[in-house]
């Protein structure tokens, strides 16, 4: 009788052991599954203009870096309009986001919206573009050393025009602090170059609003060519603006007579440098800005000290650099 009872029991035990062995070999154990990062909240990001590839890179990099830290990111597009951006900040406040990141659409006029976020107890961080207004609290800013970058643009213009010098046009975007700094640096470099020179000076004959966009800069360049037919150089505060200038020069058959200096180092700007349409760019590092801003948020929430302003140096990118660039055609 005991023998009859033991036989089924042994069979059942063997069957269960076989199932356990099959499971161990065929599927990973629960302890081997990847750890899911605990949610740390939501970050609201108001980008200056997502049609500009530079800010799209910031948005994409920021979203990925924040996800790795456990944050969800809500990305909105201010379309370079401070009123749009103010409404977006108000929406972030209503959503009670954990933190807000801005590319300020206007370095002064965005202040009241930032003040409302401050009053709501939501920390505000800026990326690439700074805010210059008083009576606001920005926890941390990471951007480019735009003044030094502007001086590099000035050096590139001096190099491009050579001993002959000549008249130069600046395509500006005054509502952005970064562009003001670039133009200040450019003008200071040109001023120092001109000191003591009796001939071959570079003279900035006009500063026109280029809207930081290709279309507006194209029209501004066309107008400048009518007023200043002897232009020798153009400094544009970003690549879309520089490409607008290039388009205007192509339409007027003056592409071989006028040197263009851009700023940013976007892929299409670098390609234009390789193709000889733009002479050089001081290039920025948007991915560093984005990941650094996320780290600032993490530090702040963890009670660590955050550097108030961190500026990343630019590097001058010429045709010889473009010829070695694996990203280009």
What is the domain partition of the chain in residue ranges? 41-144+286-313, 146-283+318-322
* Fold of the domain spanning 41-144+286-313: Rossmann fold (3.40.50)
Same fold, 41-144+286-313 and 146-283+318-322: yes
Show the tokens assigned to 42: 């939501």
Alpha carbon dihedral 106, 140, 294, 299, in 10-degree steps, equals: -160
Given a cut of 60, whether residue 84 has pLDDT beyond it is yes
Q: Is the pLDDT of residue 37 over 70?
A: no
Identify the residue whose tokens are 């008083």.
134
Residue 142 has pLDDT above 80, yes or no: yes
Give the position of tokens 């702040």: 300
Q: What is the 3-state secondary structure (H, E, C) of 43-59?
A: EEEEECCCCCHHHHHHH
**pLDDT tens, residue by residue, 258-276:** 999 999 999 999 999 999 9
Q: What residue spans of the chain are helical by DSSP H? A: 2-26, 53-68, 82-95, 111-119, 146-161, 177-194, 214-227, 239-251, 267-274, 286-301, 319-322
Residues 213-256 pLDDT 10s: 999 999 999 999 999 999 999 999 999 999 999 999 999 989 99
| DSSP type of residue 280 | B
CATH T-level fold of 146-283+318-322: Rossmann fold (3.40.50)
Average pLDDT over residues 195-218: 96
pLDDT, position 8: 41
Helix then strand then coil, in percent of the chain rounded to 5, is 50, 20, 35
d(CA 183, CA 237): 7
Compute the mean pLDDT over every residue in the chain, rounded to the nearest whole number. Answer: 90
Give tens-digit pLDDT for 42-65: 999 999 999 999 999 999 999 999
Angstrom distances, CA of residue 275 to CA of 271, 278, 328: 6, 8, 10
Share of the chain above pLDDT 90, in %: 85
What does the block give as tokens for 7? 């036989």
């Amino acid at each position: 009788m005991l023998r009859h009872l033991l036989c089924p029991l042994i069979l059942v035990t063997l069957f269960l052991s076989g199932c356990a062995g099959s499971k161990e070999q065929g599927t990973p154990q629960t302890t081997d599954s990847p750890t899911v990062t605990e949610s740390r909240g939501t970050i609201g990001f108001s980008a200056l203009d997502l049609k500009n590839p530079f800010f799209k890179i910031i948005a994409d990099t920021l979203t990925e870096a924040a996800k790795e830290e456990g944050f969800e990111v809500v990305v909105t597009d201010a379309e370079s309009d401070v009123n749009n951006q103010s409404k977006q900040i108000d929406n972030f406040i209503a959503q009670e986001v954990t933190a807000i990141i801005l590319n300020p659409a206007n370095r002064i006029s965005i202040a009241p919206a930032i003040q409302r976020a401050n009053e709501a107890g939501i920390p505000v961080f800026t990326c690439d573009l700074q805010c210059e207004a008083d009576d606001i609290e920005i926890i941390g800013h990471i951007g480019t050393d735009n003044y030094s970058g502007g001086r590099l643009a000035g050096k590139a213009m001096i190099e491009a025009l050579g001993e002959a010098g000549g008249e130069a046009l600046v395509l500006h975007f005054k509502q952005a602090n970064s562009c003001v700094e670039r133009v200040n640096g450019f003008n200071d470099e040109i001023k120092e170059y001109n000191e003591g020179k009796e001939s071959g000076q570079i003279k900035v004959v006009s500063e026109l609003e280029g809207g930081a966009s290709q279309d507006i800069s194209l029209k501004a360049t066309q107008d400048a060519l009518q007023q200043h037919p002897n232009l020798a150089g153009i400094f544009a505060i970003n690549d879309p603006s520089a490409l607008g200038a290039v388009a205007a020069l192509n339409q007027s058959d003056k592409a071989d007579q006028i040197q263009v200096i851009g700023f940013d180092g976007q892929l299409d700007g670098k390609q234009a440098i390789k193709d000889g349409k733009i002479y050089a760019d001081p290039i920025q590092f948007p991915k560093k800005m984005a990941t650094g801003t996320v780290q600032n948020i993490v530090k702040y929430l963890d009670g660590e000290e955050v550097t108030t302003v961190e500026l990343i140096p630019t590097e001058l990118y010429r045709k010889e650099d473009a010829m070695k660039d694996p990203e280009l055609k």
